[in-house]
A and B are shown apart, each in its own frame.
Chain A
Amino acid sequence: MRESLNRRDVLWKCAALGALTLAPGLSMADVFAWAEEQKPSARTPTPWNEIGPFYKRQAPHVAELRASGDKGLPLSVTGRVFDTRGESVEGATIEIWQANDAGVYDLDGYRYRASLVADGKGTYGFDSIMPGHYPGRVCQHIHYLVTAPGCKALTTQLYFATDPVFEGAPAKNFTRDPLIQSAELVRPVTMKKSAGANHADVTFELVLERL
Chain B
Amino acid sequence: MISRYAIVAVLAIASACARPSPEITTPVEAGVLHTASPVAWLLLARAQPIAAAFGSDHTIRVLSLPDAKELRAIDYGDRKTVASALSPDGALVAIGDWTGLVSVWSTATGRIQFERRLPKYPGVLTFSPDGRKLATAPQGDAVQIIDASSGAVSATLGSPVGGTSALAFSRDGSRVATGDGDTIVRVHDAATGKEIASNREFLMVPLAVAFTADGASVIAASGDKFVVTFDAATGKTTRKRDRSAQPVSLLDVSPDGTSLAAGFMKSEDMTQPDHVQVLMLDTWQPRLDWLPPSMPIGGGWVSDGRLLLALPGSDGVHLWRLH
Contacts and interface: CB of A to CB of B under 8 A. Distances in A.
Contacts of B203: 56-58
Contacts of B52: none
A53 B161 CA distance: 13
A48 B285 CA distance: 42
Given A54-B204, A56-B204, A107 B223 contact: yes
Contact of B161 (A103, A136, A147): A147
Contacts of A53: 5, 165, 205, 207, 223, 249
Nearest to B225: A107
B166 to A, nearest CB: 10
Q: Output the residue of A103, A105, A136 with the most chain B CB within 10 A.
A: A136
Given A56-B223, A155-B161, A155-B181, A51 B268 contact: no
Contact of A55 (B80, B120, B204): B204
B139 interface: yes
Interface in B270-306: 270-272
Nearest to B80: A178
Interface in A37-51: 48, 50-51
Contacts of A50: 123, 139-140, 162-163
A107 B247 contact: yes
B267 A136 contact: no
A136 B270 contact: yes
Contact of A54 (B98, B223, B271, B272): B223
A155 B120 CA distance: 13
A135 interface: yes
Interface residues of A, number: 22
A155 B267 contact: no
Interface string B77-107: 0001000000000000000001000000000
Contacts of A104: 268
Nearest to B141: A48
A145 interface: yes
A48 B140 contact: yes
B262 to A, nearest CB: 16
Contacts of A63: none
Contacts of B80: 178
A138 to B, nearest CB: 12
Contacts of B162: 50-51, 55, 145, 155
Given A51-B162, A51-B205, A53-B207, 7 more contacts: A50-B123, A50-B140, A53-B205, A54-B204, A55-B162, A55-B204, A56-B204
Interface of B: 5, 8, 80, 98, 120, 123, 139-140, 161-163, 165, 181-183, 203-205, 207, 223-225, 247, 249, 267-272
27 contacts: A50-B139, A50-B162, A51-B140, A51-B163, A51-B181, A53-B5, A53-B165, A53-B205, A54-B205, A54-B267, A55-B204, A55-B205, A56-B183, A56-B203, A57-B182, A57-B183, A107-B204, A107-B223, A107-B267, A135-B268, A135-B269, A135-B271, A136-B269, A136-B271, A147-B161, A153-B161, A178-B80
